[in-house]
Structure 1
Amino acid sequence: MTYPVITHHGAIVGVTGSCHQLHLNAVSSLLIDCGLFQGEGTGRSPGPAIDFPISGIEALLVTHIHLDHVGRIPGLLAAGFKGPIICSQPSARLLPLVLEDALRLGVTQEKATIERYIELVEQQVVALPYEQWYEVLCTDELTCRIRLQRAGHVLGSAYVECDLHYLPGGTRKRVVFSGDLGASHTPLLRPPVSPKRADILVLESTYGDRLHDERINRQQRLERMIDQALADHGTVLIPAFSAGRTQELLYEIEDILHRKALGTSALRSAEGLAVDWPQLPIILDSPLASRFTQAYRELSDFWNEEARQRLEEGRRPLRFRQLITIDSHDQHVKTVNYLASTGRPAIVISGSGMCTGGRIVNYLKAMLGDPRHQVLFVGYQAKGTPGAVIQASEGAQGFVMLDLDGEMYEIKARVATLGGYSAHADRKGLVEFVAGMQEWPERIVLVHGERRAKEVLAQALTSRYDEEGRVLSVEIPG
């Protein structure tokens, strides 16, 4: 067998469960991500259990802290993995928050067990600075070092460069795992820069079949949608992932509020009623998102130049005056009941992003049946999730029924999807990530995408290579 060899333990059917094993030789390997499966059609159990041998895994490399990339780490530890968990410095700060919440929701409520797992994680985490090589393995037959580079997807996200040197013949291989690559114009984050080279590239393909529409103008579209919804004196419900999307939304809403404060303070509806922007509550109802937002504030050194400039100007992009944080369950219940029973306009950001659980479900139960309210999607909805069902009702004739926790709810609220807010690169961005290398890979493996997305991206990559007279082997596992 010729090494390296890659096997996949997830993200080859759909966009969740990312977990890839890079076999360096017959006895040693690296694991890149260890994520949960979410939604239908994955063909896998949604739990954290590990269904592959872990012997010989020298290290786990974490590209970023979303659950579909780290949610099976508790199972990996339970299976006996004691090696280093290598991630970026911001991810090292955020990872325990994610896993603590995942353990509490999906494994156990027992405090001592959760604390024990988190202590293990913290002991095994290696916080690696960006752009710094780290030697994972050094033997007489092989040396392996890795490096993390900014991926622009979420704070701390990285793509991984694996540099392999086989002895005594001196053969060298560079394998790159993209993780999730971010789109351009992402608030707070610095954009990804292509690596210099790769022999093998394992590339995500979430939006490989589409282009993000007018991403640079997305804030204006967000503002218009909020204006429209608030004129009806309803609540705008935004399901958002706790890490990444929530902070981006807060950042852009703060900018809208800042501009409103400099101009007209109220919007007048067709009925002559005014929306008082200076008093408009922005409600963050997610304990986990609140903890992430606090961590984001503390990690401002990793923000991009524009975001740091706002701080220097005295603005507080993630801690502005109208931001209300809901912590306790009692506060949450009172807030849901108040907004459902009054005509007070508000914007609510709550998890989970695909409406599979969390506090957003209680808002949906209380408000989906009222046409005054609006559900605004800003992120990908995996097949089979409640979010996907609600999103599919957008523009539907008649009312659509939704199953939430075993009960059926009628969707009368307006539903909208705001394009351009994806945290993933689109087809153009993915192709440019490859074309930006000085030495293009001869082999690209497409993962983390629906079948059509992979096929369209494969064709786009092949066409780009053909234009340059280059040869490419594209693989679509599974």
Structure 2
Amino acid sequence: MENYPRFKHHGAVTGVTGSCHRLLASPDLHVLVDCGLFQGREARGDTLDLHRIDFDISTVRALLVTHVHIDHIGRLPYLLAAGFDGPIYCSEPSARLLPLVIEDALKVGFTRDADLIQRFLDTVDKQLVPLPYQQWHTIAETTDVAVRIRLQRAGHILGSAYIEIDAVYADGRSHRTVFSGDLGAPHAPLLPAPESPACADTLVIESTYGDRLHENRETRQQRLRDVLSHALENGGTVMIPAFSIGRTQELLYELEGLIQAGKDAQDAAWRDLQVIVDSPLAAKFTAIYRELKPFWDAEALKRVRAGRHPLDFDSLYTVDSHEQHLQTVAYLAKNRQPAVVIAASGMAAGGRIVNYLKAMLPEPVHDVLFVGYQARGTLGHQLQQLTPGAGATVEIDGETVTVACPITSIGGYSAHADQQDLLDFVYHMPHWPAQIRIVHGERVARETLKQAMLTMAAEAGREVEVIC
């Protein structure tokens, strides 16, 4: 047993999607951390074969969910189809959100048969085990080893957690592993920032932004204000591709703040700015976010106590049906009505945002605003690389579309920690890990973070093995 625990990584190894990691506490006791879909460039080819569970699950005693983004739980139907019937542990807010995410994934990727979907959701519900933050729970035990876990707030989306896993062996030895999941950035809207764990022997950490830094909050708010001002001046629409859960709610929070500031300054233009959430799924998530106010941060709760409604303000509209969606696209494309549209998908790789882009990219009065990571191979990444005008085009649904409107990216609104935040997560641990395994990042991001980790360790006089 002295060679355990071991680690196997089945996704988010060479990119940022498909998160799936296996901790082998002993030969016959394994736990799985996340089981997500591959997206963008990583999802090319036969997606059924790509997402099939290709490892032995007979020894997997539990699935641990860090958060409910599709690239972290989207392979759950494949996992259950492979025969997994063990418990699925997650935070209490994640337990509220996970069924909605899985239902949507089933409708998009598997079937629209309501009875089949409900049967699957009933199965998931029986296996789902919600856990409070900051409490230890023993999840599996053999004569050789006992495994316990503790969830800590990760600050990425509501319910997100980094997971501490203790493997305690019969010979008295113990090993603590920390899986970061996706870590949030400090000063993000709505959620408290993650705090570093006390210790770890092994740290498995994401590296989405391992090679770059975000703008500070004041800078990103000013940049958001500038993009919105362009829409107000030109009667254009700001199109924001955003994931239905997490980014949408954080944007609504920031937009409510800017609109309120405009009202306080008696600027009528801000009062007329429409904010449209064109996603029934996002609307459902937003309703659950409102119900889960106890998990908001102190700043957000202060707004609530002041009588404001950060996720339910007067100029906020929700588009439900597909017919309403098409009508909204046509209306905004034809009429000069200042508006912000938030629609999925977050990487513009499908979903309702695509119809807005096809209709409005050719007109310079509109704007596209990216506030999150755009994986290589997605339409969002292609647009980020373009200089609008001068013959710039993209292909959407087989059509060549001219790109004349401004394309803006604000990294500061990413739900991911940047390089400094990732370094700080380790630096502020009282007892540093002996081994750091870097995952969930493009090659340059992983390698850059590795070098930064090694430099930090050398300067601190610490010996750390860094694997990426």
Distance in structure 2 (CA, Å) of the matches to 1:252 and 1:368:
25
- Are the structure 2 counterparts of residues 45 and 9 from structure 1 closer, same or farther at C-alpha, using a change threshold of 3 Å? farther
Aligned to 2:206: 204
- Are the structure 2 counterparts of residues 129 and 44 from structure 1 closer, same or farther at C-alpha, using a change threshold of 3 Å? farther
CA drift of 1:216 comes to 3.9
Contact 2:22 2:32 survives alignment (8 Å): yes
Q: Does 1:222 align with 2:224?
A: yes
**SS at 1:402 equivalent:** strand
CA drift of 1:278 comes to 1.2
The alignment of Structure 1 onto Structure 2 pairs a total of residues equal to 465
Distance in structure 2 (CA, Å) of the matches to 1:27 and 1:370:
60
Q: Does 1:9 align with 2:10?
A: yes
CA drift of 1:414 comes to 1.6
Q: Does 1:134 align with 2:137?
A: yes
Aligned to 1:122: 125
Q: Does 1:64 align with 2:67?
A: yes
Distance in structure 1 (CA, Å) of the matches to 2:109 and 2:349:
12
Q: Does 1:113 align with 2:122?
A: no
Distance in structure 2 (CA, Å) of the matches to 1:220 and 1:264:
19
Name the amino acid aligned to 2:461.
G
Contact 2:389 2:403 survives alignment (8 Å): no
Name the amino acid aligned to 1:73.
L
Picking from 181, 191, 206, the partner of 1:179 is 181
Aligned to 1:273: none
Q: Does 1:324 align with 2:317?
A: yes
Aligned to 1:32: 33
CA drift of 1:51 comes to 2.1
Distance in structure 1 (CA, Å) of the matches to 2:29 and 2:428:
31
Distance in structure 1 (CA, Å) of the matches to 2:60 and 2:165:
15
For residues 320-351 of structure 1, give each alpha carbon's deviation from its aligned partner in whole angstroms, at most 9, with x where no partner exists: 00000101111111100000111111111111
C-alpha root-mean-square deviation of aligned residues, in Å? 1.3
Picking from 377, 392, 399, the partner of 1:384 is 377
CA drift of 1:241 comes to 0.6
Distance in structure 2 (CA, Å) of the matches to 1:13 and 1:415:
27
CA drift of 1:41 comes to 4.3
Contact 1:143 1:164 survives alignment (8 Å): yes
Aligned to 1:159: 162
Aligned to 1:442: 434
Contact 1:215 1:419 survives alignment (8 Å): no
Distance in structure 2 (CA, Å) of the matches to 1:113 and 1:98:
16
Contact 1:164 1:174 survives alignment (8 Å): yes
Contact 1:401 1:408 survives alignment (8 Å): yes
CA drift of 1:44 comes to 7.3
Distance in structure 1 (CA, Å) of the matches to 2:364 and 2:388:
14
Distance in structure 2 (CA, Å) of the matches to 1:104 and 1:72:
14
Aligned to 2:445: 453
Picking from 73, 76, 89, the partner of 1:73 is 76
Picking from 129, 143, 148, the partner of 2:151 is 148
Aligned to 1:278: 271
| Structure 2: runs of 5+ lacking an equivalent | none
TM-score, length-scaled by structure 1: 0.95
Aligned to 2:412: 420
Q: Does 1:259 align with 2:261?
A: yes
- Are the structure 2 counterparts of residues 135 and 457 from structure 1 closer, same or farther at C-alpha, using a change threshold of 3 Å? same
Contact 2:241 2:345 survives alignment (8 Å): yes
| Structure 1: runs of 5+ lacking an equivalent | 267-275
Q: What pairs with 1:364-379 in structure 2 (closer than 5 Å)?
A: 364-379=357-372
Compare 209-218 and 17-26 and name the one that shifted more: 209-218
Name the amino acid aligned to 1:399.
G
Distance in structure 2 (CA, Å) of the matches to 1:225 and 1:161:
41
Aligned to 1:235: 237
Distance in structure 1 (CA, Å) of the matches to 2:42 and 2:11:
12
CA drift of 1:203 comes to 0.6
